[in-house]
Each structure stands twice: as C-alpha cells, then as structure tokens.
Amino acid sequence: MQQLSVFLPYIQVILSVLLVGAILLQQSDAGLGSAFGGSRNANPFSTKRGLEKNLFIVTIILAILFIASTILALFL
C-alpha cells in the first residue's frame, strides 16, 4: 500500500490530462447560434458512430478511473 501512495499522484495527473484531452476532442454544437435556437442539425437527437462513439466511451472510462483513484487517495 505504501508504494501505491507514492505513485497515486502521478497516476491522477496522467488520468486528468487524458480526461481533459478526451473532453476537448469531442464535437459540440453548443455555439452561439444554438443558444438562440439555431443549429446545424435539424434533429437534436443524433447517434454517435465510429470514432465519436469510441471517444465517448473512453471519456467515460477515464472519468470512472479518475474518480476511483481520487476515492482511493482519500483512504490511503
């Protein structure tokens, strides 16, 4: 357990950088035009496909790992 507490801050930094990168790579239609009702897509419900879907799943996994490492750090 002592060795884990030494490496845990480095693991959290790496996870946080990867999580921020994954969030920034995702596409968003939240521009100024969509704030006033305009949008490029007429359908607000679109299906994620291909790389977009994989990036979404990786973001969720990274967020879960980051939360788990933070909770683990509380108890060490």
Q: Which pLDDT does position 46 carry in this prediction?
A: 74
Hey, what amino acid is at 48?
A: K
How far apart are alpha carbons 15 and 20 in whole angstroms?
9
Count how many domains the chain has.
1
Domain around 42: 2-75
This prediction has a pTM of 0.77
Q: Which residue has the tokens 């996870």?
A: 15
Q: How confident is the model over 22-33, as pLDDT tens digits? A: 999 998 766 555
Q: How confident is the model over 15-74, as pLDDT tens digits? A: 999 999 999 999 876 655 555 665 555 566 778 888 999 999 999 999 999 999 999 999
